[in-house]
């Protein structure tokens, strides 16, 4: 049983701790890029997730499988342009649950909850995430989505691979 469970500010320390594994997983694909060196401290750190919990337009969730913590999803309204209603700001599934459909089911649940124009942005080079989102969004939308690389203003004009689609 896969479910999304609303996370509140009291859950921030748990989600922040999980985020170090998120960054670790991304380092497999992005580790050769500037800023992705393995830290001398021996521990990866993720950006501070507190702003998502304090943003009234963000929704924070834990992903649970049979009540066990399996990942997290954060949805906000900061897409690649102002027309976007929903953006998958952060999404992580623990390795234990990868390859079992957990991520696709959790993402689909997010998409089903919020209706409108969606963006999912992927850092170029993150081929694992890129493949996952192409498959997951393709299955959810029956292949009706756009995919393009574009600079994103609120991310310092950094290039992102943007998947765009609409939910009914």
pLDDT at 32 over 90: no
**Rounded to the nearest 10 degrees, how much is the dihedral formed by the CA atoms of 51, 53, 58, 62?**
130
d(CA 9, CA 126): 29
pLDDT at position 38: 75
pLDDT digits (tens, 9 = 90+) for 58-75: 999 999 999 999 999 999
Tell me, what CATH number does 17's domain have? 3.40.630.30
Look at 39-48, 116-125, 146-155 and tell me which has the smallest mean pLDDT: 39-48
Domain count of the fold of the chain: 1
Read off the pLDDT band of 106 (50, 70, 90).
very high
Q: Which domain holds residue 25?
A: 2-167
- By the 10 Å C-beta count (0-12 exposed, 13-18 middle, 19+ buried), 64 is classed as middle
CB 119 within 8 A of CB 164: yes
By DSSP bridging, strand 116-122 and strand 86-93 are parallel
Q: Find the helix or strand (DSSP H, E) in which 91 lies.
A: strand 86-93
Supply the pLDDT for residue 66. 97
Tell me what pLDDT residue 132 has: 97
pLDDT of residue 48: 92
């Amino acid at each position: 049983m896969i479910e999304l469970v609303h996370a509140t500010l009291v859950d921030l320390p748990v989600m922040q701790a999980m985020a170090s594994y998120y960054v670790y997983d991304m380092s497999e694909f992005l580790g050769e890029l500037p800023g992705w060196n393995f830290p001398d401290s021996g521990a990866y750190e993720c950006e501070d997730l507190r702003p998502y919990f304090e943003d009234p337009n963000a929704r924070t969730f834990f992903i649970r499988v049979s009540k066990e913590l399996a990942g997290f999803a954060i949805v906000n309204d900061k897409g690649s342009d102002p027309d976007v209603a929903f953006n998958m700001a952060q999404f992580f599934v623990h390795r234990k649950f990868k390859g079992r459909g957990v991520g696709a089911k959790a993402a689909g649940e997010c998409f089903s909850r919020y209706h409108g124009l969606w963006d999912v942005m992927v850092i170029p080079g993150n081929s694992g995430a890129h493949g996952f989102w192409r498959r997951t969004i393709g299955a959810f939308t029956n292949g009706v989505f756009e995919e393009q690389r574009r600079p994103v203003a609120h991310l310092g004009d950094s290039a992102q691979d943007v998947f765009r689609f609409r939910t009914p």
